[in-house]
Structure 1
Amino acid sequence: MSKTLIVPGLDGSPAPHWQDWWARTDPNAMIVDLPDPRRPVREAWEAALAVMILRHPHSILVGHSLGSVLITQMLARWSGLKVRGAMLVAPADPLAAIEDCHRIRRFGPLPEVTLDVPSVLVASRNDPWMTFDRSRDLADALGADLIDLGQAGHINVASGFGPWPGGKVIRDRLLEQTERPSALRRWFGQAAQVLPRMPGA
């Protein structure tokens, strides 16, 4: 079975974050150890993720916040990486006008090229790190399917996302449908009606 490589964002994803919960409850998932999560260096993070992808080819990548940005940059720059699919949760805009954004500005600008792997972008309508309109435009640019979680904040602990079973459902569907791409968009087109009702905490 394909591995799930979980890619944290700024400051990491310690318990009770859903990424930590996922890694502890899924024997096929592991968190990518990114150096110095409080002071991220783009080149160091890219190297760490590249090593994990090379060690575990054909994995599903699951990123949150800056981790999602890192995934998009990697896939946009190195199309030959053996990745089965990408799940981008609440990407953080490195150019957003919020207080902590100075720590991630070197990760900008966001790539706007079609990814060559099946991908889905999970967005919130009140995420301070990226507006929903920007998330929708980014999904279109990347060729990713968009899932609207509604008023879900930054889809993190502060907005109620400790254990998040709905995240695993999205990953499982992405994993299953990578072999049947024509069915992928049909399922994700209906997902917004189902997944927000699933427990987020």
Structure 2
Amino acid sequence: MSTRRPTVIIIPGWRNSGPGHWQTLWSDSLPSVLRVEQDDWVAPVRRAWVDRLSETIAQAPGPVVVVAHSLGCITTAHLPPEVASRIQGALLVAPADPERRGVLADFAPVPYQRLPYPSILVASGNDPYCPVRTAGAYARAWGSEFVRLNEAGHINVDSGHGPWPLGLALLQSLGAEVPEAARAPEPA
């Protein structure tokens, strides 16, 4: 295994992660970050999203740790084995349920095979986009450590998640470099 710190790949979900979202804040504060930019954030097409994620992973100079939110989690699960082999670990946050939302139907069925790398799936008991039982089923199928948050919504800006220090600690546990400055809470 390489001693090089992995590149962090930020994978936003449907409609992207805007200003103030923890993914955007992390993109701006973590070293060695690549952020996936999709051509169409509103009407996603699985093949295009998977291809763009695959291209972004290929740009990384060594191993990668992926940080996916919502539909980004499902996109990650659809990666072909040759691309997934570059992943050292994954933080999968608030996965989407494409079988419940028509605009995301192209991402169904969701793969239910074990991921070939360590992963942590974080979900909330009151996420409006994916029932926690579905997120738990993903975690079991993917072989992910399951972290259930209470009353955390979709773990985004709307649910009060800005810098999200817990997420940074989970990311660091997967081998990503998280400088002290990124972990420090923002001044009030």
TM range (shorter): 0.7 to 0.9
- SS of 1:84's partner is strand
Q: CA deviation at 1:88?
A: 0.6
| Residues 83-113 of structure 1: CA deviation (Å, up to 9, x unaligned) | 11111100000012xxxx2211101111111
- Map of 1:61-72 to 2, 5 A cutoff? 61-72=66-77
Q: TM-score, normalised by structure 1?
A: 0.81
- Map of 1:1-201 to 2, 5 A cutoff? 1-56=5-60, 57-74=62-79, 77-79=80-82, 81-96=85-100, 101-175=101-175
Looking at both structures, which has the greater relative contact order when contacts are Cα pairs under 8 Å and sequence separation is at least 6? Answer: 2
Q: Which runs of 5+ in 2 are unaligned?
A: 177-184
Question: After TM superposition, where is structure 1 displaced by more than 3 Å over at least 4 residues in a row?
Answer: none
Output the CA distance in 2 between the equivalents of 1:38 and 1:149: 27
Q: CA deviation at 1:79?
A: 5.0
Comparing both structures, which one devotes a greater share of its residues to helix? Answer: 1
| Residues 5-53 of structure 1: CA deviation (Å, up to 9, x unaligned) | 0000011011011110110111222311122111111111111111111
Paired residue type of 2:136: R
Output the CA distance in 1 between the equivalents of 2:134 and 2:31: 34
Q: Is the 8 A contact 1:79 1:116 kept in 2?
A: no
Output the CA distance in 2 between the equivalents of 1:120 and 1:27: 21
Instruction: Look up the match of 2:181.
Output: none
Q: Is the 8 A contact 1:83 1:117 kept in 2?
A: yes
- SS of 1:104's partner is helix
Q: Which runs of 5+ in 1 are unaligned?
A: 177-197
Q: Is the 8 A contact 2:34 2:56 kept in 1?
A: no
Paired residue type of 2:172: D
Output the CA distance in 2 between the equivalents of 1:164 and 1:63: 14
Identity of aligned pairs, percent? 37
Paired residue type of 2:42: R
